[in-house]
Amino acid sequence: MNLDDQEPILSLGIEDVREAVLAAAKAYDSKSFIIVGRASLAVTMPDADPLLRATMDVDLFPPWDESKAAVWAAADLSIGRLSPFRREHGFYVERVAEWTTRQLLPGWEQRVFTFEVSGIQASAIHPFDLICAKLQAGRTKDRAFVKKALELGVVNLTEIEAFFQEKSGDEALLTTLMQRLNDALDFTEEED
């Protein structure tokens, strides 16, 4: 059964992200999370176009704890893709891992937007880092997202190019990012 085909994709807001953080804290017995993916815009740019905040999940992760790995895998069932949480809220929590931040440019930790929910620390990646992650993933849906983010003014082309040049620290990575940025700008709906 593919729930994604049966339910509309929601435009998540800050309250949805807060609900996800609370559920994740309970499920994973953790007091700290990093939020990546589209849902991060609900925190960093809550007034961003709803299309850019449209997602079925809140991608997040707690600090790695080897002793909790088995418990976390079981907890995914309570708030993940096929969970009661999803049936109740219309979206789910996707526990990703710290490796997802490897695609972000140096200093991402200093650019996060931090907030607290009932004593739980949560940090959402900066929009520039989200764009970087989407470009590195390079999927069709990511190119479409980046193009729309630029069109809607979530990020400015000149500023994102300068950001990449300043932060990439590696000529090959800079070349890849700039090429993928150009690919995103050239994206057409026919590619979808």
Domain final position from 82, 101, 125:
125
Do both 138 and 178 map to the same domain?
yes
> Digits of tens for pLDDT over the chain (192 positions)?
334 445 557 899 999 999 999 999 999 999 999 999 999 999 999 999 999 999 999 999 998 888 888 888 889 999 999 999 999 999 999 999 888 898 899 999 999 999 999 999 999 999 999 999 999 999 999 999 999 999 999 899 999 999 999 999 889 999 999 999 999 999 987 655
Do both 165 and 87 map to the same domain?
no
Do both 150 and 79 map to the same domain?
no
Total number of domains in the chain = 2
* Residue 40 lies in domain: 3-125
Do both 45 and 135 map to the same domain?
no
Residue ranges of alpha helices (H) inside the chain are: 3-6, 14-28, 40-44, 69-79, 84-89, 108-111, 127-137, 140-151, 157-167, 171-185
Do both 30 and 96 map to the same domain?
yes
Residue entry with tokens 């994206």: 187
